[in-house]
């Protein structure tokens, strides 16, 4: 049995459960509402891409979590994984098929969201959207979708039960997004760094904070937007003011943040597969 066959079979399975349809409709619908709701307030659609980026980091991972956390852990708990691996089919092919099907849905959903955003912006805003800007935004967002979905699939491959997979995925979301980027006012990366540094009585340099802050998929994604999407409008809107004068630290460099996203997209699934390859399936 080939990777393509397993991937298509897996996709049909999740499609019948309406998970795929729910993920696509929910995300695309929210994107459309965000752009429609802002069209009467902001004449330029580039301003609304700020809200879109928030949807990508805070909401999108929660939508794809149900699609990904059962990818492999669900088969292991049901016992159906023995059927898939006895067709014959190697663990590598099985894992790759699951990764392709689940991250593929995440990537397509994100791409559809950007397309809908561009169409709505074209139809409702006073100023036409910049095609190159939206293509760049789409490419970065799709890479983020692949990275975060890959992390979730890797976690699904690393545990034996649905409950552990669920807690692992939502824990990863909290750490890599809400905690790392600083969404929570008290419990965030910055406060932890300050607490750790206070023990020996040192101060964490801002350049080091920038590097550490960029090491999660969400941090890298947010760091890429000022460099590649908003570079020409950072002084035009108040919402961009906090990031308008970022120093030239390594952690803010576009190539470094692209590298971080790429490492997550490739490295997390590789680690998940290595754990799955040697796991006792029962």
pLDDT at residue number 30: 97
Collapse the DSSP code of 248 into the 3-class scheme (helix H, G, I; strand E, B; otherwise coil) and give the result: coil
Q: 10 Å Cβ neighbour count for 196?
A: 11
Q: How many CB atoms lie within 10 A of CB 132?
A: 9
CB 3 within 8 A of CB 93: yes
* Helices (runs of H) and strands (runs of E) counted in the chain: 14, 0
Q: pLDDT tens-digit profile of 103-119?
A: 999 999 999 999 999 99
**pLDDT for the residue numbered 27:** 97
Task: Choose between 219 and 204: higher pLDDT.
Answer: 219
Distance CA 10, CA 3 (A): 10
DSSP letters spanning 33-64: HHHHHHHTT-SSHHHHHHHHHHIIIIIHHHHH
Q: How far apart are CA 242 and CA 22, in angstroms?
A: 35
Instruction: Give the helix, strand, coil percentages of the chain, each rounded to 5.
Output: 75, 0, 25
Tokens describing residue 27: 């995300």
Q: In this prediction, what percent of the chain has a pLDDT beyond 90?
A: 57
44: left (phi over 0), alpha (psi -120 to 50) or beta: beta
In this predicted structure, what is the pLDDT of residue 19? 78
Q: Give the Cα separation of 25 and 253 in Å (integer).
A: 34
What pLDDT was estimated at residue 280? 66
Give the predicted TM-score (pTM) of the model: 0.92
pLDDT score, position 21: 84
**What is the Cα–Cα distance from 40 to 123, expressed in whole angstroms?**
12
Provide the pLDDT for residue 240.
87
Residue 101 has pLDDT above 70, yes or no: yes
The pLDDT, as a whole number, for residue 223 is 96
pLDDT exceeds 90 at position 77: no
Average pLDDT, the chain: 88
Q: Look at residue 181 and tell me whether its pLDDT is greater than 70.
A: yes
Query: How confident is the model at residue 58, as a pLDDT?
Result: 94
220-242 pLDDT, tens digit per residue, is 999 999 999 999 999 888 888 88
Answer whether 95's CB lies under 8 Å from 272's CB: yes
Q: Would you call 261 exposed, middle or buried from its count of C-beta atoms within 10 A (0-12, 13-18, 19+)? A: buried
Residue 154: its pLDDT value, please? 94
Angle made by CA atoms 263, 259, 168, in degrees to the nearest 5? 35
Residue 89 near residue 72 (C-beta atoms within 8 A): no
- pLDDT reading at 79 higher than 70: no
Supply the pLDDT for residue 120.
Answer: 96
User: Among 18-22, 27-31, 81-85, 226-230, which stretch is predicted with the lowest mean pLDDT?
Assistant: 81-85
| The pLDDT value given to residue 45 | 95
Rounded to whole angstroms, how far apart are CA atoms 109 and 21? 10
Position with higher pLDDT, 131 vs 277: 131
Q: Is residue 1 over pLDDT 60?
A: no
Averaged pLDDT for residues 245-267: 94
Find how far residue 59's CA is from the centre of its chain. Answer: 10
Give 190 or 16, the one with higher predicted confidence. Answer: 190
Query: Residue 114's closest CA among 30, 221, 213?
Result: 30
pLDDT at 3 over 80: no
Tell the residue number behind the tokens 């919402």, with chain if given: 239
């Amino acid at each position: 049995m080939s990777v393509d066959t397993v991937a298509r079979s897996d996709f049909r399975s999740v499609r019948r459960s309406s998970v795929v349809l729910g993920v696509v409709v929910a995300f695309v619908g929210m994107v459309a509402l965000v752009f429609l709701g802002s069209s009467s307030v902001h004449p330029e659609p580039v301003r609304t891409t700020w809200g879109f980026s928030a949807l990508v980091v805070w909401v999108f991972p929660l939508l794809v979590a149900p699609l990904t956390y059962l990818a492999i852990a669900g088969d292991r708990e049901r016992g159906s994984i023995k059927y898939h691996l006895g067709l014959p089919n190697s663990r590598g092919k099985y894992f790759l098929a699951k990764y392709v099907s689940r991250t593929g849905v995440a990537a397509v959903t994100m791409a559809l969201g950007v397309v809908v955003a561009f169409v709505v912006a074209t139809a409702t805003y006073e100023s036409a959207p910049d095609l190159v800007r939206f293509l760049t935004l789409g490419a970065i967002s799709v890479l983020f979708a692949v990275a975060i979905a890959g992390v979730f699939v890797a976690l699904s491959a690393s545990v034996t039960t649905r409950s552990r997979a669920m807690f692992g995925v939502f824990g990863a979301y909290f750490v890599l997004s809400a905690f790392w980027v600083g969404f929570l006012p008290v419990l965030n990366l910055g406060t932890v760094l300050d607490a750790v540094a206070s023990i020996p009585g040192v101060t964490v340099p801002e350049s080091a904070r920038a590097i550490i802050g960029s090491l999660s998929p969400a941090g890298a994604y947010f760091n890429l937007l000022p460099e590649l999407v908003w570079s020409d409008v950072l002084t035009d809107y108040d919402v961009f003011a906090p990031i308008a004068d970022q120093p030239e630290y390594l952690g803010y460099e576009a190539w470094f943040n692209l590298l971080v996203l790429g490492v997550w997209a490739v490295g997390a699934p590789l680690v998940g597969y290595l754990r799955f390859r040697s796991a006792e399936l029962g």
